[in-house]
Amino acid sequence: MKAFVIERYGKQERLKPADVPEPTLGEHDVRVQVHAASINPLDIKLKSGALKRVVPLRMPLVLGNDLAGVVSQVGAKVTAFKPGDEVYARTDTARIGAFAEYIAVAEANVAPKPAGLSMEQAASLPLVALTAWQALVEKANLQKGQKVFVHAGSGGVGSIAIQLARHLGASVATTTSTANVALVKSLGADIVIDYRKDDFAKTLRGYDVVLHSLGTDELEKSLSVLKPGGLLISISGPPDPDFARNAGMPKLVQLVIRLISRKIRKQARRHQVRYSFLFMQPSGRQLRELGEIIGDGAIRPVIDKVFAFEETDDALAYVETGRARGKVVVRVRQPVHAATPDPVAH
């Protein structure tokens, strides 16, 4: 089958087209004919080798964590899906490979494609929607009337987190550039801070939750935004001891992680708030719950651009510029009906 691979780790390594064997189907696996896959910053980190000690993967490596498509075959013990079902999924990190014509995914990570969405729209959602859900619902237990600050509201995670927080009844503040102010307001942000003009740390106070996805400066400044007892959740900051322990990492690695997160945890205690690192986990069950919310119209995908399959490397390069609004998607397989419209970005 056709796929896009890297042959070695490296920031400058490019994705190359290749013929690779079709994935092996386990008894609990679903083989999906991929119709669309989306690009995530995680793909860039994996390509560079930044996560090779945490997630060792074999070369040549087919990248791609998000997908939507049609089930082509199921394992002997699969009960929830059958050939012909339209699905979407976020793969296990150890079994990525969505930039290909077919992929095998554990049944537990697959869910029915949300009603009314195109394949491209559905493929844009799993990783970012699961990240928002696991941050705001699982970790923060966000409640109606609470206040949440979402960094980078026009990004993949931010654009979904704003909508989910509003669905949960919270008020939302976010940061974005001048060009994207109207977009994040349309998604439901109550307060929008143009980071080119204003400093969020001088404006926001008394927040229950902060969802951080940027650098160290923004991470540390976020502490002052929270009220006592508040929670700072980061998907890009240093991993914390709870993450290392729950991931079953060796004692030495747990010690290293404890040391590298010591500064921010100490600062959090000084501010009388909590710090928590989130590394999103795949979950078909959560995707089903999200699918109901998406189907009701409370969350809509935000897609910047759709690339053809042969342009997969260009799609990754575009995301690497950091200028994408929402998600970038690769159309792996053309829709059956030529008249099917492209997804609307905004």
User: What backbone torsions phi and psi does residue 107 show, to the nearest 5 degrees?
Assistant: -50, -35
Q: How far apart are CA 118 and CA 125, in angstroms?
A: 11
CATH of residue 114:
3.90.180.10
Query: Do 227 and 212 belong to one domain?
Result: yes
Kindly list the distances between the CA atom of residue 5 and the CA atoms of 31, 170, 228, 319, 331, in Å, as whole numbers in the listed order.
19, 42, 47, 17, 16
Q: How far apart are CA 311 and CA 298, in angstroms?
A: 32
Query: Do 169 and 239 belong to one domain?
Result: yes
| Parallel, antiparallel or unpaired: strands 226-234 and 207-212 | parallel
Q: Please give the residue range of the domain that contains residue 72.
A: 2-124+301-331
CATH of residue 201:
3.40.50.720
Q: Tell whether 287 is covered by a domain.
A: no
Q: Tell whether 252 is covered by a domain.
A: yes
Q: What's the predicted TM-score (pTM) here?
A: 0.94
Domain stop point among 262, 277, 292: 277
Task: Return the amino acid letter for 122.
Answer: A
Q: Tell whether 305 is covered by a domain.
A: yes
Q: Would you say how long the chain is, in residues?
A: 346
CB neighbours of 106 closer than 8 A, spacing ≥ 6?
A: 26, 28, 29, 30, 92, 95, 282
CB neighbours of 294 closer than 8 A, spacing ≥ 6?
A: 114, 117, 125, 129, 300
The pLDDT profile of the chain, 346 residues, written as one tens digit per residue, is: 999 999 999 999 999 999 999 999 999 999 999 999 999 999 999 999 888 877 778 899 999 999 999 999 999 999 999 999 999 999 998 899 999 999 999 999 999 999 999 999 999 999 999 999 999 999 999 999 999 999 999 999 999 999 999 999 999 999 999 999 999 999 999 999 999 999 999 999 999 999 999 999 999 999 999 999 999 999 999 999 999 999 888 999 899 999 999 999 999 999 999 999 999 999 999 999 999 999 999 999 999 999 999 999 999 999 999 889 999 999 999 876 543 444 444 3
Q: Tell whether 346 is covered by a domain.
A: no
